[in-house]
């Protein structure tokens, strides 16, 4: 790996700035961890090029990818459940029989913090190798105060202790209201009380959660229960998100929007009123084509309505052991187009600018002067190619916080 250099210069590149393509010949100058200049190559001055390390010409530069919805920390795997579903068993049916999320809960509870860290590292490495510079990681497979905090600590450690060897920004989300643990099988409200009165305060006190998520669904929690979680999050100064309208339309996305949610995710069953509520609140619609594919869902998310109402669309892997055991963000660009008919431009914006917005981050996910230099340099001629072909090996350079981390 080359020695860190304070000024890095790319010339004659095509830029995808997070929203649109700026055709070659463009230039990007990175200095002190930030994007110091973005201009036509011909507009570079001697002061720009003096003492700058020449990082090469050609190719496409995008913001570092932002994977804004993952469940990367978990114990075990669900290969057996995958096989059962192929034989016809339903996702909800398996969950109701105590499998699904709860089987991962058993394996995650049984694992130590170090074991979870070791299990997660290769998955995170796969995301990083595919261009991710910011990743959100949820808890939700612990479902006790101690086990949820354990998961969040693992997520935090992945972003800190490994710094340098795994250069990636981790954003953590407490998803205590993911499934009902067996200890509370007759007392959903009691479990929600635990989430609100103990889990959220503990995670907030230790600074372990950047946001709070819920699973609003028949097999999980009702809108009224989710609302109690949102209120508790607000009392602790935490923004909220929701898994909503994944299997049915309960109005979870609109509820989340009314609580100022950063995003509502999945949303295949979202109706026009829900889209309208999200538009009003500026809530991002995070589409998860990996879960749609894996669960062989047929209800498409309301992409046309989202466009009409101007709701920003993010795309994420939803990387998890059950509904989306897919750890390849660039595959999601393709699936978002092939399955949801997003344009390649929309898909790329979904994994850059809008992904960052879904995490409440204003300093990454876009290429503009003054922002953090989190960048990917790709061996392709046009940004569209990134969504068109599913082809590992095209990431030429990866820049995290202004430093080359892959060359
Ligand atoms: O985003 N919808 C609920 N939660 C996850 C699935 C987690 C799992 O199946 O383990 C999701 O699809
Ligand atoms: Fe999820």
Atom of ligand 1 nearest to the CA of 104: 10
311 and 224 housed in the same domain: yes
Q: Are strands 375-378 and 60-63 parallel, antiparallel or unpaired?
A: antiparallel
**Ligand 1 site, residue 101, Cβ cutoff 6 A:** yes
The number of the ligand nearest the C-alpha atom of 179 reads: 1
Query: 79: cis peptide before it, omega within 30°?
Result: no
Atom of ligand 1 nearest to the CA of 175: 4
**Ligand 1 site, residue 246, Cβ cutoff 6 A:** yes
Q: Which of 150-164, 332-346, 391-405 has the lowest mean pLDDT?
A: 150-164
| 2 within some domain | no
| 313 within some domain | yes
CA of residue 246 to ligand 2 center, whole Å: 10
Q: Report ipTM for this prediction.
A: 0.96
Question: Is 322 labeled as ligand-binding?
Answer: yes
Number of independent structural domains in the chain: 2
CA of residue 355 to ligand 2 center, whole Å: 14
Interval 349-367 mean pLDDT: 98
| 271 within some domain | yes
Is residue 162's pLDDT more than 60? Answer: no
What pLDDT shows up at residue 406?
Answer: 78
| CATH number of residue 324's parent domain | 3.20.20.140
Interval 81-96 mean pLDDT: 93
User: Cβ distance 205 to 169 under 8 Å?
Assistant: no
At residue 392, the 3 state secondary structure works out as coil
As a whole number of angstroms, the distance between CA 323 and CA 288 comes to: 10
81 and 51 housed in the same domain: no
55 and 134 housed in the same domain: no
235 and 307 housed in the same domain: yes
Q: Which of 164, 159, 179, 171 is nearest to 316 (CA)?
A: 171
**Ligand 1 site, residue 140, Cβ cutoff 6 A:** no
**Ligand 1 site, residue 291, Cβ cutoff 6 A:** yes
Q: Please provide residue 288's backbone torsions phi and psi, each rounded to the nearest 5 degrees.
A: -125, 80
23 and 79 housed in the same domain: no
The number of the ligand nearest the C-alpha atom of 322 reads: 1
| pLDDT above 70 coverage of the chain, percent | 98
309 and 390 housed in the same domain: no
pLDDT in tens, 37-80: 999 999 999 999 999 999 999 999 999 999 999 999 999 999 99
- Model confidence band, residue 5 (pLDDT cutoffs 50, 70, 90): low
Pocket test for ligand 1, best of 324, 325, 327 (most atoms within 8 A of CB): 324
Domain that holds residue 35: 7-63+367-406
Atom of ligand 1 nearest to the CA of 291: 12
| 122 within some domain | yes
CA of residue 99 to ligand 2 center, whole Å: 16
What pLDDT shows up at residue 1?
Answer: 45
What pLDDT shows up at residue 2?
Answer: 47
Specify which residues 169 forms β-bridges with. 134
pLDDT in tens, 214-251: 999 999 999 999 999 999 999 999 999 999 999 999 99
CA of residue 249 to ligand 1 center, whole Å: 16
Question: Is 334 labeled as ligand-binding?
Answer: no
What pLDDT shows up at residue 164?
Answer: 44
CA atoms within 13 A on the CB side of 88: 0
Nearest CA to ligand 1 atom 5: 323
- Model confidence band, residue 263 (pLDDT cutoffs 50, 70, 90): very high
Pocket test for ligand 1, best of 138, 318, 325, 326 (most atoms within 8 A of CB): 318
User: Cβ distance 375 to 9 under 8 Å?
Assistant: no
**Ligand 1 site, residue 323, Cβ cutoff 6 A:** yes
What pLDDT shows up at residue 163?
Answer: 44
Is residue 309's pLDDT more than 80? Answer: yes
| 331 within some domain | yes
Question: Is 147 labeled as ligand-binding?
Answer: no
- The 8-class DSSP code of residue 366 comes to S
């Amino acid at each position: 790996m080359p020695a860190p250099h304070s000024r890095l210069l790319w010339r004659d590149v095509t830029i995808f700035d997070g929203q649109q393509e700026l055709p070659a010949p463009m230039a990007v100058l990175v200095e002190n961890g930030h994007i110091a200049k973005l201009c036509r190559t011909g507009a570079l001055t001697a002061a720009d090029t003096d003492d700058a390390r020449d990082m090469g010409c050609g190719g496409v530069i995008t913001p570092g990818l932002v994977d804004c919805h993952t469940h990367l920390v978990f114990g075990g795997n669900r290969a057996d459940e995958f096989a059962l579903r192929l034989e016809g068993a339903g996702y909800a049916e398996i969950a109701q029989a105590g499998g699904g999320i709860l089987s991962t809960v058993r394996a995650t509870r049984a694992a130590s913090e170090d074991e979870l860290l070791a299990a997660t590292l290769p998955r995170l490495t796969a995301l990083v190798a595919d261009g991710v510079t910011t990743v959100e990681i949820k808890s939700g497979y612990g479902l006790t105060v101690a086990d949820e905090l354990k998961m969040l600590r693992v997520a935090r450690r992945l972003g800190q202790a490994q710094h340098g060897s795994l250069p990636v920004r981790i954003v953590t989300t407490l998803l205590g209201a993911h499934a009902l643990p067996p200890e509370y099988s007759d007392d959903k409200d009691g479990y929600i009380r635990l989430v609100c009165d103990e889990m959220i305060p503990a995670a907030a006190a230790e600074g372990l959660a950047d946001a709070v998520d819920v699973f609003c669904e028949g097999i999980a929690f009702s809108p009224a229960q989710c609302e109690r979680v949102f209120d508790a999050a607000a009392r602790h100064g935490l923004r909220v998100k929701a898994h909503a309208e994944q299997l049915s339309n309960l109005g979870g996305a609109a509820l989340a929007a009314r609580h100022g949610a950063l995003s509502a995710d999945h949303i295949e069953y979202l109706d026009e009123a829900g889209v309208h509520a999200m538009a009003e609140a500026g809530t991002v619609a995070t589409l998860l084509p990996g879960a749609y594919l894996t669960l062989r869902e047929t209800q498409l998310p309301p992409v046309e309505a989202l466009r009409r109402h101007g709701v920003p669309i993010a795309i994420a892997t939803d990387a998890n052991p059950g509904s989306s055991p897919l750890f390849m963000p660039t595959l999601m660009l393709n699936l978002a187009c092939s399955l949801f008919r997003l344009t390649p431009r929309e898909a790329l914006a979904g994994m850059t600018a809008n992904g960052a917005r879904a995490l409440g981050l204003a300093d990454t996910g876009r290429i503009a002067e003054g922002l953090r230099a989190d960048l990917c340099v790709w061996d392709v001629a046009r940004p569209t190619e990134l969504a068109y072909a599913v082809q590992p090996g095209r990431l030429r350079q990866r820049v995290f916080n202004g430093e080359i981390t892959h060359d």
